[in-house]
Amino acid sequence: MEPELIKLFIQLIATQTGLSIRLQDYAGLAQKIKMRVKALKLPNPQAYLNLLSTDTPTSQQEWKQLIPLITTIESYFFRDQGQINLLRKVILPELIASRHQTKTLTLWSAGCSTGEEPYTLSILLQQLIPDWVSWNIHILATDVNEEALQKARQGLYTPWSFRMVDLELRNQYFLPQGQNWKINALTQYSVDFFNLNLVKDIYYYPNYTPIQDVDLIICRNVFVYFAKEYINQVISKFYNVLKPRGYLITGHAELQNQDNLKLFQAKIYPESMIYQRPTIDLVQESLRGQENLIVDRVNILDNLLSSSWKSQVHTRLDQHSDNHQSETSKLPQKSLEEAKRYFKNKQYGIAIQKAEQFLQTHNSYLRNRELEIARQEERTENTKNLKAETQFDAYYLLAQASANLGQYEQATFYCQKAIEIDSLSILTYYLLLHIAQEQEDLAGAKLLSKRIIYLLPSSIPAYLELASIYEMEEDYTRAAKMYNTALELLKSLPPSMAIEHLEGVTAQDLIVFLEKKHIVVDC
């Protein structure tokens, strides 16, 4: 494979996953790429690169095939006895004591591989909390390698995974299955495995609920494979999801010379250095410091420039802004408008083709535009806003068209892409709710209804959906509460007002319907 082409693959892998491919691994990567090219019956590696570069369900599925080939999944139970002792004697007891009133703990194994680490955390908590079953304990276990996650969910391990475990402990928490050992149900119950890309993804549970208020994040032997810029990105994300006084534990010496470590307070123990999110928001202090520095620099520049120089500078900046605005207005919109027309005419297949064509052209334009701006060392909000608005429209249209064709997996994929652009858009969550209803996914519909109500407390259809689910679950008290809330909202509206997301239904129609359910509402 040509050196320039392998470099493009390496750059794309870094952008997608954060992984840094070492020089000595180039030949091995080239062989794996050729293997995938042959498996997909593609004409050449360039065609494979083009496939991976697209933002489609097909590309998403292929990344799931490639990632296991370029990642390491070595793990075992109670790995790194020094850090395990620190968790057992210091960190976990402190967190347990601080959460004793709420009896709630959220721990996250980021880069969980085949599951040994999160199951180790579950075992440690069982050992440290006598009334463990009465606690609300969430152990999140995420990895970008879907093959590793499948093994983790199965919970079946060879004797090699227990090389640091006493036989007594193994016999207590695992059941023998032939030559292997399976995790017991109680230990497995508190661990939730799901696929998550630390670099690319917004940190959501699979039901699009944000990951937040985490007490402890363990991310060991992950950053050693990452390029520095992506480590900094992930550290910032970890900071944002941690509770104040929450902890981050990494592998030894993985975070040396990282800029964003200043967000945390480093705590040094004989066993390891760990990081704690402080109660005072150091980010705000840092931003205030940067603002003061910028003001100082502007004042100095203002004093140095003569009035004629200022005039020239301002004129050039205005010209650049006008040129940029003109150039932005020329961004190809034809295929997106065509896609909308085809969708309106219920020609969903052609609408999908046109929307995907728009995204390819649009993304290519924006990449070129961003490179040009970077060379000029300027950033404008116009390009960012244009990217967000038009990309969201395209992804949402693709999701609608796919759902109308009954392609729910593809529709969900496009919904997720839209949410990454605008996580507050009610439209996307309503579409996901519709998909959950069509698939008779009661749990998913409930979570999405709650998410919609959280974002828009006046959302009448979401209250009605949630009430209906509670009725099916025979939870009539909660159902009545939801129906009453919907009824109060409806009575505050004009009777003839159409209810959004309930085509052809007015406020008065729903009031009559709900008042007929007085037996349920009044219970």
Convert 326-340 into a string of H (helix), E (strand) and C (coil).
HHHHCCCCHHHHHHH
Which sequence spans correspond to the domains of the chain?
3-70, 81-278
- Picking from 143, 73, 151, the residue whose alpha carbon sits closest to that of residue 112 is 143
Please report the pLDDT score of residue 389 as a whole number: 67
The strands making up 156-157's β-sheet, listed across from edge to edge, are 156-157, 180-183, 174-177
SS3 category, 55 = coil
Please report the pLDDT score of residue 388 as a whole number: 62
Phi (first) and psi of residue 192, to 5 degrees:
-115, 110
Please report the pLDDT score of residue 368 as a whole number: 53
Q: Which CATH class is domain 3-70?
A: mainly alpha
Considering only the C-alpha atoms of the chain, give the largest distance between any 2 of them, rounded to a whole number of Å: 86
Rounded to whole angstroms, the Cα distance separating 64 from 44 reads 20
Please report the pLDDT score of residue 342 as a whole number: 79
Residues 6 or more apart whose Cβ sits within 8 Å of residue 437: 445, 465
pLDDT tens digits in sequence order for the chain, 523 residues long: 788 899 999 999 998 898 888 888 888 999 999 999 999 999 999 999 999 998 888 998 999 999 999 887 778 999 989 999 999 999 999 999 999 999 999 999 999 999 999 999 999 999 999 988 899 999 999 999 999 999 999 999 999 999 889 999 999 999 999 999 999 999 998 899 999 999 988 888 887 778 999 999 999 988 888 888 899 899 999 999 999 999 999 987 788 777 778 889 888 888 888 999 998 654 444 444 444 443 443 343 344 333 333 334 343 334 444 444 444 444 445 667 887 887 877 777 788 877 877 777 666 555 555 445 444 444 444 444 455 667 888 888 888 888 888 888 888 888 888 888 887 888 888 899 888 888 888 888 888 888 888 888 888 888 888 888 888 888 888 888 888 888 888 888 888 888 877 767 888 888 888 887 654 444 4
Please report the pLDDT score of residue 254 as a whole number: 80
The domain at 81-278 falls in which architecture?
3-Layer(aba) Sandwich (3.40)
Rounded to whole angstroms, the Cα distance separating 323 from 372 reads 13
Rounded to whole angstroms, the Cα distance separating 181 from 194 reads 22
Rounded to whole angstroms, the Cα distance separating 400 from 343 reads 9
- Contact predicate 380/410, CB 8 Å: no
Rounded to whole angstroms, the Cα distance separating 343 from 350 reads 8
| CATH topology agreement for domains 3-70 and 81-278 | no
